[in-house]
């Protein structure tokens, strides 16, 4: 059998944590909740690059309310090991209509909570009409700052996961499921 790039990636996965089917039903449920709540709003889906690309793409296809999309890119430093880790904005919004927009920040995973708590405050301070957040995955046991997302897909244990947009060293984003990496991959 031909060894494909995908099957090479599969070899580094210790276990599949969330299957394609479970991802699909989770995103369907979130899209229903969001569509119900945003019927009378002016929704702007804000995809946080790069990890949320796949989730955001699947989510927007299932929404039944009108929306616009936009992207921001952030990076966090000193995360989890150093307290006071700060967030850097690498790509900012270039819009003048935030006062008319109900922003829904779309995040792949919440870990310490720093990224989303910083971003939601930043967007509110910049005049957005409303700011809420949806995360596909949540690791509540890792929280360093109090942050509760408005919509949450699945709670997962404290394990490093990849796939469905999530990466390790920029790899594994293209896997269609969410899996736990084999420990030897980190130490290679
Ligand atoms: P927070 O600011 O600590 O909540 O970090 C959230 C960001 O950390 C996410 O957007 C991801 O980019 C990254 N991250 C946290 N946990 C994981 C993981 O298990 N796999 C891949 N990326 C992760
Ligand atoms: Mg991310």
Instruction: List alpha helices for 38-167, DSSP H.
Output: 53-62, 114-125
Nearest atom of ligand 1 to the alpha carbon of 112:
3
Q: For residue 2, how far is its CA from the centre of ligand 1 (angstroms)?
A: 33
Mean pLDDT of the chain: 93
Residues whose CB is under 5 A from ligand 2 (ion)? 51, 108
- Span 118-161, pLDDT tens digits: 999 999 999 999 999 999 999 999 999 999 999 999 999 999 99
Enumerate the active-site residues: 111
CATH topology of domain 19-161: Rossmann fold (3.40.50)
Report yes or no: 103 and 128 within 8 Å, Cβ to Cβ.
yes
Nearest atom of ligand 1 to the alpha carbon of 147:
4
Contacts of 172 (CB under 8 A, 6+ apart): 9, 12, 162, 163, 166, 179, 181
Report yes or no: 149 and 118 within 8 Å, Cβ to Cβ.
no
C-alpha–C-alpha distance, residues 66 and 43, integer Å? 7
- Indicate which residue's Cα is closest to atom 5 of ligand 1: 111
Burial of 4 (0-12, 13-18, 19+ CB in 10 A): exposed
Low-confidence ranges of the chain (pLDDT < 70): 1, 77-85, 188
Ligand 1, CB within 6 Å, residue ranges = 51, 76, 79, 107-115, 160-162, 166
C-alpha–C-alpha distance, residues 179 and 120, integer Å? 28
Burial of 128 (0-12, 13-18, 19+ CB in 10 A): buried
Asked whether the whole model's pTM tops 0.85, one would answer: yes
């Amino acid at each position: 059998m031909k060894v494909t790039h995908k099957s090479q990636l599969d070899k580094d996965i210790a276990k599949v944590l969330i299957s394609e089917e479970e991802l699909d039903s989770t995103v369907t449920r979130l899209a229903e909740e969001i569509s119900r709540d945003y019927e009378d709003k002016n929704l702007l889906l804000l995809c946080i690059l790069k990890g949320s690309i796949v989730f955001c793409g699947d989510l927007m296809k299932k929404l039944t309310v009108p929306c616009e999309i936009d992207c921001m890119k952030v990076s966090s430093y000193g995360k989890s090991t150093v307290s006071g880790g700060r967030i850097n904005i690498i790509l900012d919004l270039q819009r003048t209509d935030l006062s008319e927009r109900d922003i829904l920040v779309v995040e792949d995973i919440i870990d310490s909570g720093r990224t989303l708590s910083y971003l939601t405050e930043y967007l509110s301070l910049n005049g957005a009409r409303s700011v809420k957040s949806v995360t596909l995955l949540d690791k509540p046991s890792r929280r360093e700052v109090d942050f509760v997302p408005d919509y949450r897909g699945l709670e997962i244990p404290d394990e490093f996961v990849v796939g469905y947009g999530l990466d390790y060293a920029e790899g594994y984003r293209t896997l269609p499921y969410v899996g736990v990496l084999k420990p030897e991959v980190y130490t290679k």
